[in-house]
Structure 1
Amino acid sequence: MKFAINPVTHSLILMLGLTSYVSAEETATELDTLVIVGKQNSYLNPEVSTATKSNVDPKDTPLTVNVINQQFLQDIRAESLSDAYGYTTGLSQSGTNADSFSLRGIDTELSNIQVNGLPGLASRFGSPTTANVEKVEILKGPASITYGQVQPGGLMNIITKKPQEEAAVRYDISGNSYNTGVSDFAEDNSFTGTIDATGPLTEDKKWLYRLILSAEDTNSYRQDVDAQNYYLFPTLTYRPDTETEVTFGLEFQSENRVSDDGLAVLDYDINQIASIDTHYQSADDDDKDEGVVAFASYNTMVTDEFDITVDWRSVWHEDSYTTYESRDVNNDTDTVSVRDRHNENKRQYHTVDVRTTGSLWAGDVEHQVLAGINVGFERSDFKRETYATTDIDFYVPEDLTERDEDAYSLNHRVTDYMNYAAYLQDTIYLNETWTLMGGVRYTRQDIDFERRDTGATASSSSDAFVSQGGVVYHLSDATSLYVSYGESFNPNSIEDTDVNGDNFEPERGRQYEVGMKTDLFNNKANLSIAYFDIKKDNVVEENETTGEDELLGEVKSTGVEVELLMLPVENWQIKLGYAYVDARITDNPDENIEGNRTPGSALHDAYVWTKYNFPYKIADGIVGTTFGANYESARYTDEDSTDRVKLSGYMNVDLGVHYEINDYRASLNVENVFDKLYYTGGSGDSSIYAGDPRNITFSLSGKF
């Protein structure tokens, strides 16, 4: 069965979604005394919490915080967070792992993704599921003041769903299939189901619960690639009085998929690439990702002005893969070298954050104070078993199954990290016009390393003070101007040493930012504009002359971000964004690297999203349409100009239609409507990841 959308249909859907505003206004004018039909839950963000660890008006903070709320995730049918990356300014995807993205042109690490303000994901191979996500706040620029060791481009904070007082059981089921040249409609199908139950456990509503179960069975358009993922999120909240709340929770995640290192190209030319369904790994190769998380949060008022919060999060995570991983492309023989490898990665994260927030007064001047201490332990246990390397055909790769035991080698590394920190932040409301913010953090990390296959050991310690400051000028109640400065701190690997065998100083980052935030049209729109200048130095690079590692690297990123959210009428809203990000390696001993763009970063990215609900009922329900387009300019897979592939820029178009009646909603979404061939990221020339071709999803959600 073939599914196709002809140009006439395209035009009709676009007209429905984009040109009915006049009709909506006329109807609203005629029926302004009646109940509004088609009213939407807004994408607007009246409060953010990640910047200051307390709820504040975005206009009161001299930092950029982008928010992806639950309604938007539902409207784009995001099953993982990466589905929303195209509609986020300054964020570029670079691969398929959880941390495979850059913010403001700077690569991220797992520590740049936090859950309720603490580090430690339950899975690593794939982008985090949205089943348990209430919203995501993306804090741009250095976040070390409040969150410790992170890369300076920014931080993604996943805020999870919590128990509610109103009893409800919600379900969401969806099925999707591709409609493209290598996968006909209904040939490769995927299914997802989620149940979300919440409510009180006692009549006095002091005990609340929430239980979320989700399962995914996905079949890719790529040959032999599929996945089965399962999630369980139970949470309890206890409220002994009106000023105290304790929440306990667990996370269980199990993800199993066929290994897939993406595509390869010949002669570093993206135009010389095999069919997008070409799979260089064996059908028996697998990735397994399992995690168990326990967490708790305690909050109470200790005085009329100050509260205290204690957050704890512990993660036990293990991933493994047995695969023929793609390594090199042999242009002379049109073959791809694949290495037989078995990896086991075990990680533990145990973090406690204790803080107090409240107000102190000096005359008429309010000081909103945040003070906290943070202690964390992390262990990484990485075991790599490597066997032989084999060459397979570039265009028609054979399925490898035999293992050469004689080519065996082992690398087993265990590293323990102890982190200690204390931080203080003060937001000073001088008057109705001026707000000052300043903060400082002292952080220390002790590392113990053991190479278990050789017996080698090492230890190191590093510490740093990092600071942050900013000024907000309120031009009016609706508009604020700001300037800020922030620093980051991230220890270099203990395995990197100088000519004397000593460890290197930590990477340091800093950012200057100037911006404006304003509410328009009687608070029916939020506009934010920011200019930023980021520099990261103390990057370890190899000195070509001596062959030794030295602190020779530096990265700089400058740019502008603009985001506009609008709800001009109750049944129509728009989300627009644009970012210009010039991120380059400004200091490197290799002339083939210095001056080049950072891998995976796009010079330009832009998006538009609109959702329109008809202002009258159809079949006793609400009918609406969605339209989205996102653009990303060309990117490179590597920093070395002799060893990289240029990924062409692209623009994707997504369309949808939905029908809501009472507590039920049915949706039909078409992603990549024009079935454009594009690439989301990759590394070198042997791991290039194609974006999904045309993908059609039908979903049904409801409430018992």
Structure 2
Amino acid sequence: MTNALKHSAACSTLILLFTAPAWAQPQTSASARAEGEQQIHDKVIVTGEQIPYLRLSETATKTNLDLMDTPLSVTLLNKAFLEDLHSERLADAYPYTLGLSQSGTNANSFTLRGLSASLQNVQINGLPGLASRFGSPTSANIERVEVVKGPASVLYGLMEPGGLVNIVTKRPEEEASNTLTFTTRSYASETSGFGDDTGAGLTFDSTGSLTDDGKWLYRLIARVETQDTFRDGVSYDNVYLFPSLTYRVSPEAEATFGLEYVKEDGDADDGLAAVNNDIDQTAPINVRYQEDGDFDNDEGLVAFAHVNWDISAKTRLRLNLRSVFHEDERKLYENNRVNDAPDLEDATLRRRDRHQLNKREYHFVDLNISHAFDTGPAQHNLLAGLNGGFERADYERIRFGSAISPNISILDPAYGVGEPVAITAGTDRITDYLNYGAYIQDVAAITDWLTVMVGGRYDRQDVDFTEQTTDFTDDQMSDVFLPQGGIVIRPNDALSLYASYTESFNPNSVQRRDANGESFNPERGEQTEAGLKASLFDEQLNLTFAVFDIEKTNIVETNLNGDLQLLGGLESQGAEFELQALPLENWQVRFGYAYTDSVISQSPDEALIGRRNAFAPEHDAFFWTRYNLPRDVWNGTVGASVGVNYESDRVTNASPSTQVELPGYTRLDLGFYYEADQYRMALSMENIADETYYTGGTRDTRIFPGDPRLLILSLRAKL
């Protein structure tokens, strides 16, 4: 990208999120309600009217079940909201996703309901396998995002118990459309003045029919972006390409094939270091401890296919395939240990030489069939499926472990003077994972007011581990049965009461063994949840309330004799309330509040029991509103939005020796919009008060500050 493009001045951030809006249905059974409903309600937009809402979620049950009949908490973000907020990355939506807290910069750096996520907790069209790892996924090809709170292993396999973030990608459409979106951004703060660190992006999105009969459809999405960040010497250049084809075999069957290509090149950044475990004893938020030339590079290629076949009015088959070939390379002097001192000026940071090359392959498949039938007055929707896959992870440490001498000043680092004490030999570890499972689920409308969900899964994982440099090999087998169940009571069309029980599992590392050399059983998660959902005043006011209790057990810890045992446990309890209202057709209001008490419940170190989990704020809240003028302005619609996000204090990790408490913060965001038939212009202003806050980190050596005041401008044209 040219310097002129790069320094234009400001592009997108996301201040908004969508949960279940238009829920209320006629007082008919769950099966009947789901049959005739569209997933996204299109309608004619009158002057100033807010964009229609998403009302169904396939992710929670892998069926088109109305959210009022779903005994789980689900948050929905549709394309309209992601666009409204100028979301460039999925993480831009996190501040307005209730119960989700960012904990770092990687794709899986977040907690859900107070529990950390893994890469398996972020899926694309219901299958794991992100194209990149270091950064949060781009929103260029996102149609919508569905967040299921709590364990989701019965339908989706191994993962952490906090919840599932499922990205539904854009598909080819028959109606021809070509759009070009230009975004530009600049900080405007004390840390980085207006025009000092800027960036720009360009997205092209084209879709339509390749044949006159509409049997072959295509879509091509391409995006390039470049960004200088407020961190000293940190910038990135990214390229994304998403081509896809759909073949309509018949009115009842279609197949979609596509590719995803991602290339992300950036400067390595390990964040700030805190002296004496005190966040007030850190350098200014722009200070970086890595050297010029240290990098984080990511490249991935994905091939996928989806087959949808409505065999009959009551039976449908779905096949989903995804293969990922991914490589990431990290070379840097990484932050390793803080050398504390009474004064910040005297403290130093030990760095460590690291050069890592990771190669991954993922091949996953999901095949399921659903069938609707009756048994007496009960209406059933039975789902049965098989899913699983093969994963190979090749982690090569080209160099690792040698300290850099001399240490670097934390307050005023000098670059280019440190060298490794010694060149250390690396390691090369290859791990093969073979995972497969079978699941079944029945959603039964027993009466017009009572719906019951039951399900279960059998899952097995085989692991083979090889250390290439020493020829050490090991293997492990884990299997498990997981049940789930739920009940929904609908006393009337406007109210839904529900309760559910769900489980999760995640195998422990093959490299961890007990004193007898035996492998460990998988980590287990269990959630009990109850709540209510209400849709009032002709669907203009929608409320959700949930209470939950999640227990995670079988965590490997070191006992007092120095041996590994299944001694660890976590518990997260809390309550969530969310409101979405349309007081007027051109005025939208959203509010959410979550209370989460997430602590260590079991540990061989009794001093740790009761301590908070990392990045599990006790209080999390947001408010967002958008108002559109009810009359034409320049033959278009003019609107404005205000967003406020609050998180209470968090801790970076559980260990008292390296734990840093990050203070709570409140962030204020503003947005202005102009939309006409062929054009859209939007200006976002994030962190208006230019507050210093921290979004993630690990220990006292890696703490990531949030963006200072940021201006973002986007221009979209239909070609």
Length-normalised TM-score, structure 2: 0.92
SS at match of 1:118: coil
- Structure 1 residues 479 and 406, CA gap change in structure 2 (3 angstroms): same
Determine the structure 2 residue equivalent to 1:135: 144
Note the 1:182-581 alignment, pairs <5 A. Answer: 182-332=191-341, 333-384=346-397, 385-386=399-400, 388-390=402-404, 391-400=407-416, 404=420, 406-543=422-559, 545-581=560-596
Distance, in Å, in 1 between the alignment partners of 2:442 and 2:166 is 21
Cα drift, residue 621 of structure 1: 2.1
Structure 2 residue 712 is the aligned partner of structure 1 residue 697:
yes
The question of whether the paired residues in 1 share the 8 Å contact of 2:240 and 2:263 is answered with: yes
- Structure 1 residues 401 and 416, CA gap change in structure 2 (3 angstroms): farther
Determine the structure 1 residue equivalent to 2:699: 684
Cα drift, residue 619 of structure 1: 2.4
Determine the structure 2 residue equivalent to 1:601: 616
SS at match of 1:119: coil
The question of whether the paired residues in 2 share the 8 Å contact of 1:387 and 1:405 is answered with: no
Given candidates 592, 603, 628, the residue that maps to 1:613 is 628
- The answer for unaligned runs of 5 or more in structure 1 is 1-33
Distance, in Å, in 2 between the alignment partners of 1:134 and 1:405 is 50
Which amino acid counterpart does residue 386 of structure 1 have in structure 2?
A: F
SS at match of 1:86: helix
Cα drift, residue 55 of structure 1: 1.5
CA RMSD of aligned residues (A): 1.3
Length-normalised TM-score, structure 1: 0.94
Determine the structure 1 residue equivalent to 2:6: none
Distance, in Å, in 2 between the alignment partners of 1:433 and 1:464 is 34
Distance, in Å, in 2 between the alignment partners of 1:409 and 1:568 is 65
Which amino acid counterpart does residue 93 of structure 2 have in structure 1?
A: A
Cα drift, residue 402 of structure 1: 6.7
Distance, in Å, in 2 between the alignment partners of 1:559 and 1:517 is 17
Which amino acid counterpart does residue 614 of structure 1 have in structure 2?
A: L
Which amino acid counterpart does residue 362 of structure 1 have in structure 2?
A: T
Cα drift, residue 144 of structure 1: 0.6
Cα drift, residue 399 of structure 1: 2.0
The question of whether the paired residues in 2 share the 8 Å contact of 1:225 and 1:283 is answered with: no
Which amino acid counterpart does residue 146 of structure 2 have in structure 1?
A: E
Given candidates 98, 115, 121, the residue that maps to 1:112 is 121
- Structure 1 residues 163 and 528, CA gap change in structure 2 (3 angstroms): same
Distance, in Å, in 2 between the alignment partners of 1:401 and 1:293 is 41
Cα drift, residue 517 of structure 1: 0.8
The question of whether the paired residues in 1 share the 8 Å contact of 2:271 and 2:703 is answered with: yes
SS at match of 2:582: strand
Cα drift, residue 70 of structure 1: 1.3
SS at match of 1:400: coil
Which amino acid counterpart does residue 491 of structure 1 have in structure 2?
A: P
Determine the structure 2 residue equivalent to 1:30: none
Distance, in Å, in 2 between the alignment partners of 1:63 and 1:703 is 39
Distance, in Å, in 1 between the alignment partners of 2:449 and 2:422 is 73
Which amino acid counterpart does residue 472 of structure 2 have in structure 1?
A: A
Which amino acid counterpart does residue 75 of structure 1 have in structure 2?
A: D
Distance, in Å, in 2 between the alignment partners of 1:81 and 1:426 is 32
Cα drift, residue 401 of structure 1: 7.3
Distance, in Å, in 1 between the alignment partners of 2:594 and 2:313 is 43
- The answer for unaligned runs of 5 or more in structure 2 is 1-43
The question of whether the paired residues in 1 share the 8 Å contact of 2:403 and 2:421 is answered with: no
SS at match of 1:300: strand
Structure 2 residue 643 is the aligned partner of structure 1 residue 633:
no
**4+ runs of 1 displaced by more than 6 Å?**
none
SS at match of 1:407: coil
Moved more, 84-93 or 296-305: 296-305
Deviations 1:34-63 (CA, angstroms, capped at 9, x unpaired): 983111213x33111101112111011100
Structure 2 residue 190 is the aligned partner of structure 1 residue 177:
no
SS at match of 1:183: coil
Cα drift, residue 77 of structure 1: 1.5
Determine the structure 1 residue equivalent to 2:23: none
Moved more, 95-104 or 411-420: 411-420
Deviations 1:62-101 (CA, angstroms, capped at 9, x unpaired): 0011011111111222111111100011101110000000
Distance, in Å, in 1 between the alignment partners of 2:658 and 2:412 is 24
The question of whether the paired residues in 2 share the 8 Å contact of 1:387 and 1:404 is answered with: no
Which amino acid counterpart does residue 701 of structure 1 have in structure 2?
A: R
Cα drift, residue 365 of structure 1: 1.3
- Structure 1 residues 35 and 344, CA gap change in structure 2 (3 angstroms): closer
Which amino acid counterpart does residue 567 of structure 2 have in structure 1?
A: L
Cα drift, residue 406 of structure 1: 3.6
Distance, in Å, in 1 between the alignment partners of 2:650 and 2:144 is 28
SS at match of 1:111: helix
* Number of residue pairs matched by the alignment: 669
Determine the structure 1 residue equivalent to 2:169: 160
Distance, in Å, in 2 between the alignment partners of 1:405 and 1:256 is 28
The question of whether the paired residues in 2 share the 8 Å contact of 1:524 and 1:568 is answered with: yes
Structure 2 residue 92 is the aligned partner of structure 1 residue 77:
no
Cα drift, residue 403 of structure 1: 5.2
Distance, in Å, in 2 between the alignment partners of 1:536 and 1:112 is 15
The question of whether the paired residues in 2 share the 8 Å contact of 1:596 and 1:641 is answered with: no
The question of whether the paired residues in 2 share the 8 Å contact of 1:387 and 1:408 is answered with: yes
Cα drift, residue 340 of structure 1: 1.2
Distance, in Å, in 2 between the alignment partners of 1:667 and 1:500 is 62
Determine the structure 2 residue equivalent to 1:643: 658
Distance, in Å, in 2 between the alignment partners of 1:326 and 1:456 is 30
Which amino acid counterpart does residue 649 of structure 1 have in structure 2?
A: G
Cα drift, residue 566 of structure 1: 1.7
Moved more, 195-204 or 394-403: 394-403
Cα drift, residue 387 of structure 1: 5.2
Deviations 1:100-129 (CA, angstroms, capped at 9, x unpaired): 000000100000000000000000001110
Distance, in Å, in 2 between the alignment partners of 1:412 and 1:232 is 31
Distance, in Å, in 2 between the alignment partners of 1:387 and 1:437 is 51
The question of whether the paired residues in 2 share the 8 Å contact of 1:592 and 1:640 is answered with: no
SS at match of 1:273: coil
- Structure 1 residues 35 and 205, CA gap change in structure 2 (3 angstroms): closer
Cα drift, residue 518 of structure 1: 1.2
The question of whether the paired residues in 2 share the 8 Å contact of 1:282 and 1:401 is answered with: no
Moved more, 127-136 or 74-83: 74-83
Distance, in Å, in 2 between the alignment partners of 1:404 and 1:139 is 46
Distance, in Å, in 1 between the alignment partners of 2:523 and 2:638 is 52
SS at match of 1:123: coil
Which amino acid counterpart does residue 165 of structure 2 have in structure 1?
A: M
Deviations 1:402-446 (CA, angstroms, capped at 9, x unpaired): 754843121211100111110000001001010000000000000
Deviations 1:682-703 (CA, angstroms, capped at 9, x unpaired): 1111111000000001110121
Distance, in Å, in 2 between the alignment partners of 1:565 and 1:205 is 38
Cα drift, residue 130 of structure 1: 0.3
Determine the structure 1 residue equivalent to 2:48: 38
SS at match of 1:173: strand
